[in-house]
Amino acid sequence: MAIVKNEKKKAGQQTLGGLYGTGKVKKRREWRGFKDTMYDYGRWLILWKKMIKISLSRGFVKGLLRYRWMYYYLSVPYMVDKFTLGQRDEILRITHTALDIIVDDVALVIKCCLRADRRTGNDKAYSEKCVLVDENAMVSFMMGFPDLVALEREVPTLFSSNLINKNSAVHYIDVAQAYGIPGDVCPMPETEAGISIEDDFVVGGKCAVQVNSTCDGSMLGNSIIANRLEKDYGIPTFQMATPLRHKEEDTQKYAAEEIKAAIRFIEEQTGAKWNWKAYFECAKRVNETTKHRWDWLDVNSTDYPQFFGAVFSLYNDTNYMGNCGRSLTFPLYDRRVDALVNKGFKNKCMIAPEYRHRCLVWGVQPQYAFDMLYWMALCWGVMPLTDMLSMVIDKPIAEEDTPENREQAYYDMAYLSENMIMRNHTHGGYKVLVDELWEHCERMNADMVMLWEHIACKALTGMHGQFEEQARKRGINLVWVAHDLCDPRIYTKQAVRDQFNLYMRTIMREEPIDPTLEVLQDDEAW
Amino acid sequence: MRDLKHLNYFENLLTSAHNDLVRQAKEEGRICAASVCENVPEPLFNLPGCFGVRLTAPNTGSLDISTYYMTSFLCETSRALLERAIEGGYNFADCIIAPDGCTMINRAVENMELLNALGQGKEHFFYENMEIPFKTDENGVNLLILQCKNHILTPLKENYGIDTSDAAIRTAVREHNKICDLVNRLGAFRKEENPRITGYEFAVFTLATYVCPKDLIMDKLEETIAEVAEREPDENAYRARVLLVGAEMDDPAFVKLIEECGAFVCADRFCFGSMPGRTPIEMNESEDALTQLCRHYTYTGQCPRHMNLDKVNARRDYVDKIAREYHADGIIYNQIKFCDPWGYERATAGAALRDDYGYPVLSVDRPYNIQSSAGQMRTRVQAFVESIEYKNIKGAK
């Protein structure tokens, strides 16, 4: 592909490897030129303000003393720095805008969790209004319950704490394995199981809904959590099934019936009544999100991608799965990001001095835990156009309240669930995992695929040979980068980067744009 | 005990997926429908003019090619099946109908499809993938009915002209129940204090019912039952009675290994075993056959993929019930290495059976072909048998 050169000289420091030391945090903040450094520093201060605010919320101090995972949140600013590496101008502002709402959203979840938690905040009346939902659930079945809280207690405990500190899951993985769960299963549900075995989740809520969204391991691990909830805490738990072959017509009725059953269960347990008006309002917001996301992907199909990397993925994840149109704030941020994306595109804003390759990032990704995608662009000029987990919802759902649409709505909620972040490509047959990758490559003019090979994800590795052979046939450069998701003991950060470095040097025969980034001594970093 | 007359014959049938009886049925012009999982209603593969075969890969050695396609982290069952398919070992099949039961088996069959590993030269060969219910409820039953219609009955009818009428399904279920009856009568001998059949022998006969045309083995099974009924049992032939629980297990050598260590495998609760796979299907005349069949499979299935909590806990009760019925002293939970569903089920149910139900439990993972790791397994089973003996001695005191 033709190399795209940055017409503007990048302000501030040109090489970034010097920022990394052997400690838990970087040696110093990045110098981005006066204007961007001030902007970045201002956001950093605002972040601290948010952290102080949440630390004053009900049950926070008790939670800090009770839950092992709570203290990781003290290092949130490091996470934000990690995801703004090397960024300037609009790209920096897009990342900060998106991170703003992501941090707000996670802070809100923590606040709600502690408030409802019987051990800390213990607000009983509030807890009665909470429905515990699976971290991997698309909360579409909550769209018509405006007065209930979808309490995603696994998000702060596992998911977002791992964004902040890569070692956050290690202890719980060990607990699960000591219990007898094998070491070869995906460490993510294994961590959840470990947290439940150790009884380290917050306990609250009137009832719970679990899903089978991600994988066999996640589904089976849920039984440990459900038994803990029902037997030890008397919280009734419903298991909602979503079909695997979600592209097939003959599975849709099953999926819709499951949604109905979940709604019925919540109504019975909480006494709340499904509200169609609220549902269709949420549906409108979901559609707006979908439209924006596809607009951003269109921009990423040009020479000047604007919103990309881990934060693009995180933003989609939080927006769709965690909120599913329930948040009034997300559309405002969608619009702000959209304006910045358009401005950045107009100004030909770039993160690196040149883009040598246009890369699609596929597979089950650990990129939340570190800055790999930005690093690829900065070190090697490989631009990550989008990733598998962001290629989710692609059609609008019914948003007008009519009798026909009320029946259609169950199918739409099922569609959202079937296409949740971690499953719409890993399940449903090879067509959605392999064939659709090549379709996206063509649409986004990608000449390279970086395939995250999560070694314990059987759905993905089961197609290893097919990826390899089909990429070769299509003349696409395919680089495998193996990892073990939230267990950094199996592949360290540098071990992950080394795989990419090796490919770029030996197969592509290229030299890095920023050689100081090639090898970093950051194994101890959060 | 004296050797059973037909044991060697049945053992030979198990040495190849393309065994003599499969060849015979194919020569008779019958259609062979292959499958890979217990969650597919088996009688539908045995409609008139058709016979079903659960694929196995006996004597598996190298898994190099399938490991390239699926990496070393997928379970050896899925890799062994793919390897055998690539080698051309399943070209006798006229179609393969695979459930999306677990991810790994699903990927194995998808690789077969993408590599055109089956059906070469067969104009009407087809691959079908089915969605299988995740829960034991009526929504699941309705799903299974639709899936069976769309992915088994319609393609069999359209491609091979198989009669898929209600009457044909009832005939197939009747034949299925005959096999179940034979297997269960044979299995009942294991309840005796001095059993007249070994766990290994029973595993061989039972496995044959999954991998051979059923009608072609019925007479020999009848003869075997009569022979076992007259057989003189050995006294004190074992040191402990164990119930074997777990995943896909089509390797009777594993049962043999356990029995060589002094344990008698008194009951089997695994895929390819008699429980629940050989539970008779009860039918009435008032409801259509397909619905009843699908209800049976949805509710009697013991696969860990069934995720509703009452079913999760019912699986443990089921194991406890079998253990009591067959007087088991201990339970061996096994999984094939890298199997996610059974990895969790083994850990959680094993712990529950030990802590809540009070059984000694051995929890192990194993390779597809036990011969590749026989020494390690032998040591673990020996230690387990000793621990049961020790417990019994302590209990007696």
Q: Which pLDDT score, from 0 to 100, does residue B394 have? A: 82
Interchain CB distance below 8 Å, B348 and A248: no
Give mean pLDDT, residues B163-167. Answer: 98
Amino acid at B79: R
Could you report the per-residue pLDDT of A164-214, keeping only the tens digit for each?
A: 888 899 999 999 999 999 999 999 999 999 999 999 999 999 999 999 988
Q: Model pTM?
A: 0.96
- A85 is written with which tokens? 């590496």
Structure-token match 């707006």, residue found: A288
Question: At residue A1, does pLDDT exceed 90?
Answer: no
* Contact state of B103 with A215 under an 8 Å Cβ cutoff: yes
Task: Report the pLDDT value the prediction gives residue A422, as an integer from 0 to 100.
Answer: 79
Which pLDDT score, from 0 to 100, does residue A396 have? 96
Instruction: Categorize the per-residue pLDDT at A369 as very low, low, confident or very high, splitting at 50, 70 and 90.
Output: low
- Torsion-angle region of B327 (φ positive above 0: left; ψ -120 to 50: alpha; else: beta): left
Q: Is the pLDDT of residue A462 over 90?
A: yes
Percent of chain A at pLDDT above 70? 99
**Closest residue, chain B, to A461 (C-alpha):** B70
Q: Which two tokens stand for residue B241?
A: 């009675």
Q: Quote the pLDDT of residue B69.
A: 98
Closest CB from A210, A215, A455 relative to B73: A455
Two structure tokens written together for A388? 């598998």
- pLDDT higher than 90, residue A110: yes
Helix, strand, or coil here: B111?
helix
Of residues A155, A137, A142, the one with CA closest to residue A214: A137
Nearest chain A Cα distance for residue B143, angstroms = 6
Residue A216's pLDDT is what? 87
Which residues 97-116 of chain A have a CB within 8 Å of chain B? none
What is the rounded CA–CA span in Å between residue B100 and residue B134? 11
Give the DSSP letter string of A201-235.
S----SEEEEE--S-HHHHHHHHHHHHIIIIIH--
SS3 of residue A522 by DSSP: coil
Q: Which residues have C-beta within 8 Å of that of residue B279, sequence separation ≥ 6?
A: B180, B296, B300
Q: pLDDT-based confidence at A148, cuts 50/70/90?
A: very high
CA distance linking residue A339 with residue A304, whole number of Å: 15
Question: Distance of CA A167 to CAs A73, A110, A115, A154, Å?
Answer: 13, 19, 26, 16
Measured between CB atoms, which of A182, A456, A464 is closest to B70? A464
Contact with chain B for residue A240, Cβ under 8 A? no
**Distance of alpha carbon A466 from alpha carbon A360, whole angstroms:** 17
| Mean confidence (pLDDT) of chain B | 96
Cα A152 from chain centre: 14
pLDDT tens digits, one per residue of B28-62:
999 999 999 999 999 999 999 999 999 999 999 89
Local confidence band at A74 (pLDDT 50, 70, 90 cut-offs): confident
CB contacts of A224 in chain B (<8 Å) are 344, 348
Residue A367: band (very low, low, confident or very high) from pLDDT cuts 50, 70, 90: low
CB contact under 8 A, A184 and B337: yes
Looking at residue A24, its pLDDT comes to: 84
pLDDT tens digits, residue range A488-505?
A: 999 999 999 999 999 999
CA separation for the pair B147, B39 (Å, rounded) = 12
Mean pLDDT, chain A, rounded, equals 94
**Residue A78, pLDDT score:** 82
Q: Note the residue count of chain A.
A: 526
Nearest to B74 among A212, A227, A462 (CB): A462
Q: Two tokens at A100?
A: 């703003």
Tally A–B CB contacts below 8 A.
Answer: 160
Contacts of B347 in chain A (CB under 8 A): 179-182
Residues A249 and A491: beta-carbon distance below 8 Å: no
Nearest CB to B363 within list A180, A226, A465: A180
Q: What domains can be seen in chain B, in order of their start residue?
A: 31-155 (3.40.50.11890), 235-396 (3.40.50.11900)
Q: Residue A360 in 3-state DSSP?
A: strand
Give contacts of A234 with chain B, Cβ < 8 Å: none
The pLDDT value recorded for residue B101 is: 85
Contact A102, A86 (CB under 8 A): no
Query: Within 10 Å of residue B380's Cβ, how many Cβ atoms?
Result: 17
Helix (H) or strand (E) holding B223: helix B218-230
> Token pair for residue A460?
């993905």
Taking the CA of residue A467 and the nearest CA in chain B, the distance in Å comes to 9
Q: Which of residues 114-153 of B touch A (CB under 8 A)?
A: 114, 129-131, 133-135, 139-140, 142-143, 146-147, 150
Give the other-Cβ count within 10 Å of A294's Cβ.
12
Nearest 10 degrees: Cα torsion A1, A300, A33, A7: 40
Supply the pLDDT for residue A208. 98
Q: Give per-residue pLDDT as tens, A379-414.
A: 999 999 999 999 999 999 999 999 999 999 999 999
Per-domain residue ranges for chain A?
4-517
A377: pLDDT strictly greater than 90: yes
* DSSP-derived 3-state class of residue A53: helix
Average pLDDT over residues A42-65: 91
When scoring A458, A472, A491 by the number of chain B Cβ atoms within 10 A, the one with the most, hence best to mutate, is A458
The answer on pLDDT for A336 being more than 90 is yes
Closest approach of A280 to chain B, Cα-based (Å) = 26
Amino acid letter for position A482: A
DSSP class of residue B26 equals H
B231 close to B320: Cβ distance less than 8 angstroms: no
The answer on pLDDT for A94 being more than 90 is yes
Using alpha carbons, list the distances in angstroms from residue A503 to A259, A477, A495, A510: 45, 10, 13, 9
Q: Quick check: helix, strand or coil at residue A199?
A: coil
For strand A354-355 and strand A4-5, is the pairing parallel, antiparallel, or unpaired? antiparallel
pLDDT (tens digit per residue) in A272-322: 999 999 999 999 999 999 999 999 999 999 999 999 999 999 999 899 888
Residue identified by tokens 């621990």 is B387
How remote is the C-alpha of B362 from its chain's centroid? 20
As a whole number, mean pLDDT of residues B143-159 equals 98
pLDDT band, residue A26 (cuts 50/70/90)? confident
**CA distance to A461, B365, B381, B390, B392, per residue, from B387 (Å):** 39, 19, 10, 5, 9
- Could you give phi then psi for residue A355, rounded to 5 degrees? -110, 115
